[in-house]
Structure 1
Amino acid sequence: MKMGVEGLDALILDLDELTQMPDTVLSDMLHAGGEVVAEAHRNKIQSIGLVDTGQLRDSITVASKIKSKKNSKSIEIYPKGTRNNGVRNDEVAFVYEFGAPSRDITAWQWMRNANEQIKDVACEAAEEVYDDYLRSKNLL
């Protein structure tokens, strides 16, 4: 009995192509998802009325630099900069997220809620970048 396999060499080349995915593809994936999350943060701040000057809403930023830890990579999405009154936007965001009972400020959990609502859409944005990469290699 003789057994033959056709296309095995092409499959091996295709798998090798996947292992050689450029760092730019991962960066683009993280940034695509990050932009979706940042927009959700801005929209949540607006929709629950945490906008007086717009400084917090407009400060939500997707970092350009990718962070690496052991076997993972991530991107930061955060309020950047300092308000006109000298208070950092990340401090204001923290207070609105977790509250300040001594100052009678409610914990809005705006970031957590936005993240939960948008997680699937953010993943889809990253997946689309990956799919584009696969299509460029005729793997999808």
Structure 2
Amino acid sequence: MPQNEYLLISRGQWDESASKEAVQGAIDRFYTWYEQGLSQGKLKRGSRLENRGKLVSKAGITDGPFAEAKELVGGYWFVVAGTLEEAAAIAAENPCLEFGLMLEVRPLEAARASASAVTNETPPAWRAAEA
């Protein structure tokens, strides 16, 4: 079965009712899981994200605005799997899920962007015209 790449986006915040020690244990188990996934070829390198950044648009470059706290992105990694379901199953093994974090699993689009294709960036008015 051909292997595909999927983006894992880490979202959320730690469960505030958990102890810092318990969360640290999950973090330590995460790094073990992560390193094993890298060595097995199931994961590709990613990174945690810092709390700072810039928003770049046609209006210029500004500090934020950023997503609401409930939608914070903490980091990203890549999964190599045959299907989206397999990628989600690999992501479900992440120990940090026990303490409030969520992982969004997204297939990477192989095709080049096209204004005529319906994608996440397509405005609703364009979608209605296609129907």
TM-score by length of 1: 0.26
Which structure's relative contact order is higher, taking Cα pairs within 8 Å and 6+ residues apart? Answer: 2
User: Which entry has the higher C-alpha Rg, 1 or 2?
Assistant: 1
- Structure showing the higher strand proportion among its residues: 2
Which one has the bigger helix percentage? 1
| TM-score, structure 2 as length reference | 0.27
